[in-house]
């Protein structure tokens, strides 16, 4: 079953603020002016920030006031410059619930789809503790942000994790911030996107020069990590497609997928992020074709 907004709210109500890992967030410089912020809370996203001559650009801001505050604290260890731009990779609160803390006056950029979904979240009384800020600028296919002396390419890869993800590429640093299109050594939670196009989107990323890959969650990645995640989704997709064509039911497919090659991947039943859950989403997407 795809994760509806209400399902996300339930999940986040359970997990908000309770870090599943005990370590501190880590900050690593991954190119000229560019830093990866790896969250210590599995329920909150990673972030990426770029420090230019006159201001800062941040990709994703964490879950809420607490997580946004931790991110801002880490940014302030590096620079006192104003946060001028925030890019949100998608509408899930763990990626944008810190917007108001990290950049109360920043220009917020995302897809039109994400802005629409965020409007619904803002009007939901259960979401009051999240520091949302609606996007000031939306785009359809791509936009380039100039943060002197760097440029940042933001694009919509087609339906993937959600129906309106934004992927952020830093050409001077050869770094990509993927949002939840890539989780390092983990099954993803799949919203109402497209697994088939998601694989195409990962193939496209893998054609870019990549020194580092900042995943939506978990440790900083390489192109090899991204390729392995692509292989996981691709293997799963092919298996589910073949089983469905043989006439297997959804329950049979959930049971029969064989992903022993990826035994080290994290699985989170509470996020509907397991091999079987991922298989079920793909089965339903194929059924809807
Ligand atoms: Zn997500």
Residue 7: the pLDDT is: 54
CATH architecture, domain 5-227: 4-Layer Sandwich (3.60)
Report the separation in Å between the CA atom of 246 and the middle of ligand 1, taken as the mean of its atom positions.
Answer: 32
Q: How confident is the model at residue 128 (pLDDT cuts 50, 70, 90)?
A: confident
Higher pLDDT: 265 or 17? It is 265
Report the separation in Å between the CA atom of 286 and the middle of ligand 1, taken as the mean of its atom positions.
Answer: 21
CA–CA gap between residue 188 and residue 165 (Å, rounded): 14
Domain segments of the chain as ranges: 5-227
Share of the chain above pLDDT 70, in %: 92
Q: How would DSSP label each residue in 41-98?
A: -TTS--EEEEE-SS-EEEE---SSHHHHHHHHHHHHHH--S-EEEEE-SSS-HHHHTT
Report the separation in Å between the CA atom of 273 and the middle of ligand 1, taken as the mean of its atom positions.
Answer: 11
**Quick check: 63 pLDDT over 80?**
yes
What's the whole-number average pLDDT of the chain?
92
Report the separation in Å between the CA atom of 182 and the middle of ligand 1, taken as the mean of its atom positions.
Answer: 10
Report the separation in Å between the CA atom of 18 and the middle of ligand 1, taken as the mean of its atom positions.
Answer: 18
Residue 23: the pLDDT is: 63
**Quick check: 237 pLDDT over 70?**
yes
Report the separation in Å between the CA atom of 144 and the middle of ligand 1, taken as the mean of its atom positions.
Answer: 23
Report the separation in Å between the CA atom of 78 and the middle of ligand 1, taken as the mean of its atom positions.
Answer: 27
Q: How confident is the model at residue 289 (pLDDT cuts 50, 70, 90)?
A: confident
SS3 279: helix
Degrees (nearest 5) of the Cα angle 55, 61, 64?
A: 135
């Amino acid at each position: 079953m795809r994760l509806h907004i209400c399902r996300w709210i339930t999940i986040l109500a359970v997990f908000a603020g309770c870090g599943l890992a005990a370590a501190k967030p880590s900050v690593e410089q991954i190119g000229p002016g560019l830093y990866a912020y790896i969250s210590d809370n599995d329920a909150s996203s990673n972030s990426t920030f770029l420090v230019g001559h006159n201001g800062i650009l941040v990709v994703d801001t964490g879950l809420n006031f607490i997580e946004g505050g931790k991110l801002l604290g880490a940014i302030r260890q590096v620079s006192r410059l104003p946060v001028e731009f925030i890019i949100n990779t998608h509408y899930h609160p763990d990626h944008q619930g810190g917007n108001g803390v990290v950049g109360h006056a920043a220009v917020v950029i995302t897809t039109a789809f994400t802005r629409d979904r965020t409007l619904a979240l803002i009007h939901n009384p259960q979401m009051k503790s999240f520091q949302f800020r609606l996007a000031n600028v939306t785009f359809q296919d791509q936009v380039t942000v100039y943060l002197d002396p760097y440029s940042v390419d933001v694009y919509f890869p087609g339906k993937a994790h959600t129906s309106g993800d934004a992927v952020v590429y830093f050409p001077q640093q050869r770094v990509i911030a993927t949002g939840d299109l890539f989780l390092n050594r983990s099954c993803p939670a799949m919203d109402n996107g497209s697994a088939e196009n998601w694989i195409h989107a990962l193939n496209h990323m893998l054609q870019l020069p990549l020194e580092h890959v900042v995943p939506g969650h978990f440790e900083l990645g390489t192109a090899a990590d991204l390729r392995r995640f692509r292989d996981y989704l691709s293997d799963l997709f092919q298996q589910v497609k073949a089983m469905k064509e043989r006439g297997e039911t959804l329950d049979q497919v959930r049971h029969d997928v064989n992903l022993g090659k990826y035994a080290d991947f994290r699985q989170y039943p509470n996020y509907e992020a397991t091999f079987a859950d991922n298989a079920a989403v793909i089965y339903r997407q194929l059924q809807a074709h």
